[in-house]
């Protein structure tokens, strides 16, 4: 039971991260390596600049229903800003150029945080009420884990409904599949791209919030490890495929947790190597990803 919840909650993080990457890849063919730094930034946005070991949370007194939107807005804002300031200029560049630009942007964000906060991890207590355990079927599960899973599922449903039911969602799905064609049909390209960045940034912020609440620490590298796994999830899910990204995110989370429990003690430190090994196997047998996105070829 505990293992199942661990797997689901880790999978949730990866799935949310993968979704954020896949959304942007879908509309712009950009693998945004700055995504991890958006995760960190949205949490640091809650803090006063300081080099202390204990974070000074200026927004920490906010009740949760203000705190959460605040963090999400922080992520969305940074993400949209990065599209306006950086990626818009690379619209016509090839994917490799855009990827390098995203690395550069990631460094800028990370070093900006480094300047203000130093590289020292800080302890933070966000939403402390959530670390209480709850009993589910005899197992004691931290409330936060339950909420993480529930929130992820809620986000997935909300996102699906948004993409299916709204006009903007329709435009986004069309643009994600074939941007050139959507544009020819008069779909408002800039709005769709900004929307994708805003959503992606909000998802990144949600991850940041969960991570900070879970671990009780924040550090400027915190987004990087999630980003790496999330990126791998988007690749094995089939780049650009949103359901694929989510599925692969959960699978990766499950694989990590399962390996943590079934591997012999001596092999556990190398858990990630086994996970990556499994990833390689998947890619050998399904190089197009688990759920291939059909619109990845473009031609005018």
Piece of 109-117, 130-138, 165-173, 205-213 that binds another protein (CB under 8 A): 165-173
Helix axes 2-28, 242-262, angle to 10 degrees: 150
Q: Which is nearer to another protein, 137 or 300 (CB)?
A: 300
- Residue in 66, 85, 158, 184 binding another protein, rule: CB under 8 A: 184
CA distances from 180 to 89, 149, 177, 189, 190 (A): 17, 36, 9, 9, 13
* Residues in contact with 61: Cβ distance below 8 Å, sequence separation at least 6, in sequence order: none
Binding another protein (rule: CB under 8 A), the pick from 160, 178, 217, 225 is: 178
Does 167 contact another protein by CB under 8 A?
yes
Residue 294 interacts with another protein (CB under 8 A): yes or no: yes
How many residues at the interface with another protein, by CB under 8 A? Answer: 19
Stretch that binds another protein, among 98-106, 172-180, 207-215, 275-283 (CB under 8 A): 172-180
**177 touches another protein by CB under 8 A:** yes
The single residue among 34, 182, 210, 248 that binds another protein, judged by CB under 8 A, is 182
Q: Which is nearer to another protein, 284 or 300 (CB)?
A: 300
Helix or strand or coil: residue 102? Answer: helix
- In this complex, which beta carbon is closest to another protein, that of residue 26 or of residue 106? 26
- Name the one range near another protein by CB under 8 A: 17-25, 116-124, 176-184, 255-263: 176-184
CB of 88 to another protein, least distance (A): 18
114 vs 118: CA distance, rounded Å: 4
Asked if 269 touches another protein (CB under 8 A), the answer is no
Q: Binding residue for another protein (CB under 8 A) from 97, 123, 132, 166?
A: 166
Q: Is 186 in the site for another protein (CB under 8 A)?
A: yes
Torsion over CA of 105, 108, 114 and 119, rounded to 10 degrees?
50
Instruction: Work out whether 130 is an interface residue with another protein (CB under 8 A).
Output: no
- What is the distance of C-alpha 218 from the center of its chain? 16
Stretch that binds another protein, among 3-11, 112-120, 126-134, 166-174 (CB under 8 A): 166-174
227 CB-near residues (< 8 Å, 6+ apart):
17, 21, 33, 35, 36, 37, 39
Min separation Cβ 286 and another protein, Å:
18
Q: Is 225 in the site for another protein (CB under 8 A)?
A: no
- 29 makes contact with another protein (CB under 8 A): no
Long-range CB contacts for residues 286-291, cutoff 8 Å, separation at least 24: 286/236, 288/238, 289/235, 289/236, 289/237, 289/238, 289/239, 289/241, 289/244, 289/248, 290/236, 290/237, 290/238, 290/241, 290/244, 290/247, 290/248, 291/237, 291/238, 291/241, 291/243, 291/244, 291/247
């Amino acid at each position: 039971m505990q293992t199942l919840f661990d797997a689901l909650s880790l999978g949730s993080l990866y799935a949310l991260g993968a979704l954020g990457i896949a959304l942007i890849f879908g509309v712009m063919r950009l693998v945004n390596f700055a995504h991890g730094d958006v995760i960190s930034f949205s949490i640091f946005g809650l803090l006063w600049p300081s080099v202390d070991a204990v974070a000074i949370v200026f927004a920490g007194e906010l009740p949760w229903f203000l705190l959460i939107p605040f963090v999400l807005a922080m992520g969305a804002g940074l993400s949209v800003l990065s599209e306006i300031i950086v990626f818009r200029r690379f619209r016509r560049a090839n994917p490799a150029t855009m990827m390098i630009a995203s690395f550069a942007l990631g460094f800028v964000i990370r070093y900006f945080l480094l300047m203000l906060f130093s590289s020292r991890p800080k302890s933070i207590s966000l939403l402390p009420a959530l670390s209480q355990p709850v009993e589910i079927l005899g197992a004691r599960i931290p409330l936060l884990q339950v909420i993480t899973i529930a929130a992820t599922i809620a986000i997935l449903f909300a996102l699906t409904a948004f993409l299916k039911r709204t006009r903007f969602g329709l435009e986004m799905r069309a643009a994600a599949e074939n941007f050139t064609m959507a544009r020819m049909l008069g779909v408002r390209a800039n709005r769709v791209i900004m929307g994708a960045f805003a959503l992606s940034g909000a998802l990144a912020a949600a991850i940041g919030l969960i991570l900070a609440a879970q671990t009780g620490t924040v550090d400027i590298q915190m987004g990087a490890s999630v980003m790496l796994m999330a990126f791998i999830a988007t690749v094995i899910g089939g780049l650009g495929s949103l359901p694929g990204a989510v599925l692969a995110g959960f699978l990766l989370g499950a694989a990590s947790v399962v390996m943590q429990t079934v591997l012999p003690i001596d092999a556990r430190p190398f858990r990630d190597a086994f996970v990556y090994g499994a990833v390689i196997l998947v890619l050998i047998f399904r190089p197009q990803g688990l759920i291939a996105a059909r619109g990845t070829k473009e031609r005018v």
